[in-house]
A and B are shown apart, each in its own frame.
Chain A
């Protein structure tokens, strides 16, 4: 048995090393670049450290403006998605109505199509109604593709609430509304919080739709970053934007790790 364990650990170490190199190393490289005032490849290390490019970028109007626009759009998408989807999730989880399974399936089915092709179809329609280059257009396209997550996860969460705790609340004198607010919602809050966070992040990082619909008038932060990557001599711009764009969400995710129960994700699919 000990021999087997040794082989096991060796394979594991190799896998771990491979994953560390493949998954983490590129990201770490970018983080180093973000704080490199001077790094001239093929040098293995920056020659000067600092935050010079942070200052430069944050002074640029287009960067600051894109940050504002991105935050605004993501917030609007998240709020509207919540308003539309949470009641729908409750209905899917608790109420019985004709075609319930079919409707739920339709949301999942939408995501089975090649997404960019759908974006193009939508873009063509937006073109004819003049929504290209508008914030509304970008909000709409990001909103419609966040519907699945905002329905699937909360539905699973509502389903997971044990009916007997609601009955117990009724038993001690709570009205239906009190039960909903004081008992049901607190129980589903973690899962719904996770869904909201994911929706916000997906909207914030979204590139495809924003590029197709928003450009050139509405430039979200990822779009600005795109323009600072392709054919850009100053590498640090992209690196700083990467860190600005990504690290806060990573920190947030780590802090709220407990909300992401694998059961919540798995249970959502019509079970």
Chain B
């Protein structure tokens, strides 16, 4: 069941397209994140769903009914603002009850609902306090309660945790997800923090300059970013410009042999980029069958995981992440093998290349193969 549907929505401010030809269907109970850098249009898109902006073109429908001409106070959406936007002259109770009172609900019902909402967000007993007396995290919880108490069809959140410190952010994130799951609430969450999106979303909408770069589940967006922008925005990524040289992919000192059909597929592109996840690079001291050699510039041990930066010469560097089994220290000379990479043709249409390596005995090797992605 499609709870929310945006069809070719556009919004211009002067000459700038804040949102351009944006289309998205959200299923009931789904948690969707709009992810992107500032200025990408995610907040504008959210505000159009809420009704604070009207699209110049396109349609927005909730449960199949167009809401373009419905003002924000009559839409079935409820928004949690970035700055919590609590009413400082009302108590916590007053803030949460306000919407209910506007709907002329009887006093007993209002009181009961407010109590339930406060319990839901973990703020039982705070009714009589004023927003000014609460901490940042508590204020944001009240804002959430205020939205939830109205039992909206769609919950909208505009970077609600960005002004809180990291610890609190993680905690509130988990609480929000738990509440959302329990209530099966269709939720749209705007953020610029890709870690937040990867943690919370059922699906991520990666946005850039008003358009959608990719829509997909977190694992999908992480494993197979569809554009170079998405690749650079999600997680940590090594990005190198590449060219075809003698049937090989050359990026700096890295040489990767490729099959003829891959060669053909790549030939037509004007620009080629390699995108390599740090965890797909393996490093060994000394030389072996390798794609490139280099010196270890820096090693950082993060508990179970090791991060290393390998200097390949000529200003080229690779970030590597592994489990730290092969021993080496800083300034050691090492060989680098790339297990998996994506090749972007003109910033999009990535080709995935998975490669075998000289494996210890007992492990199956596979021939290098490419998986074209669309």
Q: Which residues of A line the B interface, CB within 8 A?
A: 162, 164-165, 167-175, 178, 182-183, 186-187, 189
Asked, given contacts A165-B86, A178-B102, A187-B88, whether A172 binds B150 with beta carbons under 8 Å apart, the answer is: yes
Asked, given contacts A162-B83, A167-B52, A168-B79, whether A174 binds B89 with beta carbons under 8 Å apart, the answer is: no
Q: Can you list 13 contacts pairing A with B, beta carbon distance less than 8 Å?
A: A162-B83, A164-B81, A164-B83, A165-B85, A165-B87, A167-B79, A168-B81, A168-B143, A169-B87, A171-B147, A172-B98, A186-B87, A186-B89
Q: Kindly specify which of B68-76, B184-192, B227-235 makes contact with the partner chain.
A: B68-76
A178 to B71, CA, bound (A): 14
Q: Which residues of B contact A175 (CB under 8 A)?
A: 73
Of listed A162, A168, A186, residue having the most chain B CB within 10 A: A168
A187 to B147, CA, bound (A): 21
A164 to B98, CA, bound (A): 16
| Nearest CB in chain B: distance from A131 CB, A | 42
Which residue of the partner chain, among B81, B89, B143, B150, contacts A167 with CB atoms under 8 Å? B81
Q: Flag if A164 contacts B102 (CB, 8 Å).
A: no
In the complex, what residue of chain A is closest to B146 when comparing beta carbons?
A172
Q: Does B325 contact A (CB under 8 A)?
A: no
In the complex, what residue of chain A is closest to B102 when comparing beta carbons?
A173
Q: Flag if B83 contacts A171 (CB, 8 Å).
A: no
Interface residues of B in 62-108 (CB under 8 A from A): 71-74, 77-79, 81-83, 85-89, 98-99, 102-103
A164 to B146, CA, bound (A): 14
Q: Which residues of B line the A interface, CB within 8 A?
A: 50-52, 71-74, 77-79, 81-83, 85-89, 98-99, 102-103, 143, 146-147, 150
Q: Flag if B74 contacts A173 (CB, 8 Å).
A: yes
A162 to B82, CA, bound (A): 12
Which residue of the partner chain, among B72, B87, B88, B147, contacts A170 with CB atoms under 8 Å? B72
A165 to B79, CA, bound (A): 11
Which residue of the partner chain, among B73, B78, B85, contacts A174 with CB atoms under 8 Å? B73
In the complex, what residue of chain A is closest to B81 when comparing beta carbons?
A164
Q: Flag if B73 contacts A162 (CB, 8 Å).
A: no
In the complex, what residue of chain A is closest to B149 when comparing beta carbons?
A172
Q: Flag if A173 contacts B81 (CB, 8 Å).
A: no
| Nearest CB in chain A: distance from B182 CB, A | 22
| Nearest CB in chain A: distance from B240 CB, A | 43
Which residue of the partner chain, among A162, A173, A182, contacts B85 with CB atoms under 8 Å? A162
Q: Flag if A170 contacts B98 (CB, 8 Å).
A: no
> Count the A-B residue pairs with Cβ separation under 8 angstroms: how many?
64
Q: Flag if B71 contacts A172 (CB, 8 Å).
A: no
Q: Which residues of B contact A171 (CB under 8 A)?
A: 50, 72-73, 77-79, 147
Q: Which residues of A contact B82 (CB under 8 A)?
A: 164
A146 to B140, CA, bound (A): 42
A167 to B86, CA, bound (A): 11
A170 to B85, CA, bound (A): 12
A171 to B87, CA, bound (A): 13
Of listed A170, A172, A183, A187, residue having the most chain B CB within 10 A: A172
Q: Which residues of A contact B146 (CB under 8 A)?
A: 168, 172
Q: Which residues of A contact B51 (CB under 8 A)?
A: 170
User: What would 16 more interface pairs be, CB under 8 Å, given A170-B52, A170-B73?
Assistant: A164-B82, A167-B52, A168-B86, A168-B143, A170-B72, A171-B77, A171-B78, A171-B147, A172-B102, A172-B147, A173-B102, A173-B103, A175-B73, A178-B102, A186-B87, A186-B89
| Nearest CB in chain B: distance from A196 CB, A | 18
A101 to B239, CA, bound (A): 51
Q: Which residues of A contact B150 (CB under 8 A)?
A: 172-173
Asked, given contacts A162-B83, A164-B81, A175-B73, whether A169 binds B98 with beta carbons under 8 Å apart, the answer is: yes
In the complex, what residue of chain B is closest to A186 when comparing beta carbons?
B89
- Going nearest first, the 4 A-B pairs with the smallest beta carbon separation are A172-B99, A164-B85, A168-B85, A186-B89
A165 to B103, CA, bound (A): 19
A171 to B82, CA, bound (A): 14
In the complex, what residue of chain A is closest to B100 when comparing beta carbons?
A172
In the complex, what residue of chain A is closest to B158 when comparing beta carbons?
A164
Asked, given contacts A186-B89, A187-B89, whether A173 binds B73 with beta carbons under 8 Å apart, the answer is: yes
A23 to B77, CA, bound (A): 60
Q: Which residues of B contact A167 (CB under 8 A)?
A: 52, 72, 79, 81, 85
Q: Which residues of A contact B52 (CB under 8 A)?
A: 167, 170
| Nearest CB in chain B: distance from A21 CB, A | 40
| Nearest CB in chain B: distance from A45 CB, A | 49
| Nearest CB in chain B: distance from A94 CB, A | 16
| Nearest CB in chain A: distance from B45 CB, A | 16
| Nearest CB in chain A: distance from B213 CB, A | 28
Q: Which residues of B contact A174 (CB under 8 A)?
A: 73, 98-99, 102
Of listed A162, A171, A173, residue having the most chain B CB within 10 A: A171
Q: Which residues of B contact A187 (CB under 8 A)?
A: 87-89
A86 to B72, CA, bound (A): 27
A187 to B86, CA, bound (A): 12
Of listed A162, A169, A173, A175, residue having the most chain B CB within 10 A: A173
